[in-house]
A = this chain, B = another copy of it.
Amino acid sequence: MDIYNYNKGFELLKNRINIKDLEKIEYDREVILAGWIINIKNIGNISFIILRDQTGDVQITIKKDIFNDLEFIKEFSLHTFIVVKGKYVKGIAKKYKEVVAEEIYLISEPADRLPIDENSYFEKRMNYRWIDLRDPKKSLIIKLTSYAVKYIREYLYNNNFIEIFSPKIISTASEGGAEVFELKYFDRKAYLAQSPQFYKQMAICSGFERVFEIAPAFRAEPSFTSRHLTEFTSFDVEIGYISSHYDVMKVLEEIIKYTNKKIKENFEDEINKYYNVDIFVPENIPKINMEDVYEIVGKNNIKENGDITSEGEKILGDYVKKSYDNEFVFIIDWPWTARPFYHMKGEPMKNGIITTKSFDLLYKGLEISTGSQREHRYKILLEQIKEKGLNPDNFKYYLEFFKYGAPTMGGFGFGIARYIKQLLNIENVKEAVLIPRDPNRLEP
C-alpha cells in the first residue's frame, strides 16, 4: 500500500460516509471515512489516530499485523487529511467509536506545522480562520448563521415576500456621504452601498408589495468595537401599502418568533453542548416609547441628538428582562433629530419634540434592527431633505422614485451577525462571521 497513491484515495471517496453515520452501521462492517488527523498516538505495534470530519470524531486503530510495517505513520502529522478504509468494531474506547484500518491514503499532507491552537490570541486565530473553524464550537456559529437565514427566508416566502438583488456599486453615497468606500468605476467615481435602503424602496415603487434582501453592506467606519464590521451581512425588509410602522414591527416580531423557535427546536442540544445559553422564544415583544425610555435610562445616557448610548441600551435590556421577562424590546417613536431624512414624521412628544414613525429592536440590550415608516410623498420628502441641511442634488435618483406615484411603505435593516452574537452570547461580533473585516483586517 502506497499512502501517496492519491488516485486510489480519490476512488475510495466515492463510497465514503460521515463519521456520525457510524451510528447507523452494524459492527464488523467495512466503512470508508475521511478527515483531518487531530491526534496521533504510537504504542509499538499499534497506533491510534483521532480522525475528524464535520460530523464528529472517530478513533482509527492501525495494527502492525494488518499493515506489516507502520513506518508510513511517520508521514502523518496533525491535520494531515486522509481517507481510511476499515472495519467498524465494537471498541473498548469510551469516548470514541472505533474503526480498525485496512487501507489508508493521503488526500493532502500539511506543508508546515500548525500555526495556531485553541489558546492562540484572537487576531492570530483570525489570520488562520480556516484552521480556527475546524473547532466544532466555532463552526457551529457559521452553521447557525446559515440556518437562521434559512428560517428567516422561510417565514418571508410563506408570507408573500420576494427576494431582490440590488446593486452594491452606486453612483452617490447613500445616506449622506460619510463613512462610505469610494472606488474607481472605469473613468468615474463610484461608492459601495452602505445599505440597500434606496433600492428596496425603489422595488416598492416598482409595484412589488413585500421585498427582502440578504446581502453584503459596507461601512467605512474606523471603529474597533466588539459590534462593528466594515463589511457585514444586512438583512433588509421593505413592505408596501402599510398603515403605519406598527405593520412593520408586526412582521419583524413574527420573524423573531419563528426563527428563535426553529433554532431552539433544531439546535438546542448542539448549542447546549458548546454554549451555556437558553434560546428565548418571545410570545410578543414589548414596545416602549422613546419618551419613556429616556426616564428609564436617565439623562447621562441620552445623546445630544436624542439617541441613547450603548450603555443606555444595556440598562434598557436589563429593565425589560426584569419588568417583562423578555430579551427583546422595541424602542418606538424616535425624535426626528436622531433619524435620517426619509423617516416619516409622527405625533410630537408631550414636550413638543418632533418624533418619527420609527423603531429600534434591542436583543439582550443591543440594537440589532432599525426601522420606520418612510416618507413616500415627493414634496414632503424634498422638504425633509432640506430640513436636514442636505443637498437635494445628492438624492436626485432617490427622489425620482417618488415622483410618479408611490405606495406607503416601511421596513427595517437587521444585522445578522449581531443577532447571532446575541443569540449565543458571543463577546465579539467578528467571531460571528466567516471572515471578518475591520479597518485593519483585510485578510485572509
Q: State the A residues within 8 Å of B (CB).
A: 6, 10-11, 13-14, 16, 18, 34-37, 52-54, 79-81, 107-112, 114-115, 128-134, 139, 142-143, 145-147, 149-150, 153, 157, 162-171, 181-186, 188, 190, 192, 199, 202-203, 205-209, 215-216, 218, 220, 222, 230-231, 233, 241-244, 376-379, 397, 400-408, 416, 433-435, 437, 439, 442-444
Give min CB distance, A436 to chain B, whole Å: 8
Taking A192-B183, A206-B129 as contacts, is the C-beta distance between A163 and B150 under 8 angstroms? yes
Given contacts A81-B407, A146-B163, A168-B168, contact A216 B218 (CB under 8 A): no
Partner of A243, one of B11, B378, B433: B11
B residues near A406, Cβ cutoff 8 Å: 81, 107-108
**Is the Cβ of A133 less than 8 Å from the Cβ of B207?**
yes
| A209: chain B residues within 8 A (beta carbon) | 18, 53-54
Task: List B contacts of A242 (CB < 8 A).
Answer: 13
* New contact pairs (17) apart from A111-B404, A167-B435, A215-B215, CB-CB < 8 Å: A34-B241, A54-B207, A79-B404, A107-B376, A108-B378, A111-B402, A129-B206, A130-B203, A134-B207, A164-B434, A165-B434, A169-B181, A169-B231, A171-B442, A183-B192, A188-B442, A202-B444
| Of A80, A205, A215, A434, most B-chain CB atoms within 10 Å | A434
Most buried by B among A111, A115, A379: A111
* Contact residues in B for A150 (Cβ distance below 8 Å): 153, 157, 163
Closest B residue, CB atoms, query A187: B439
Please, how many angstroms separate the alpha-carbon atoms of A3 and B174 in the complex?
33
Q: What 8 A-B pairs have minimum CB-CB distances, sorted nearest first?
A: A183-B183, A133-B206, A146-B162, A79-B405, A81-B405, A130-B206, A13-B243, A397-B444
Bound CA–CA A222/B186 (angstroms): 8
Verify A199–B434 contact, CB threshold 8 A.
yes
Q: A147's closest neighbor in chain B, by CB?
A: B162
- Asked whether, in the complex, the Cβ of B186 is within 8 Å of the Cβ of A403, the reply is no
In the bound complex, what is the Cα–Cα distance between A167 and B437 (angstroms)? 8
Q: Which of B128, B142, B403 contacts A162 (CB 8 A)?
A: B142
Q: Are A165 and B433 neighbours in the complex by a CB distance under 8 Å?
A: yes
Find chain B residues with CB under 8 A from A444 CB: 202, 397, 400-401
Tell whether, in the assembled complex, residue A139 and residue B408 are in contact, meaning their CB atoms are under 8 Å apart. no
- Docked pose: A115 CA to B403 CA in angstroms: 10
- Distance (Å) between the CB of A314 and the closest chain B CB? 27
**Cβ 8 A contact of A397, one of B186, B216, B443:** B443
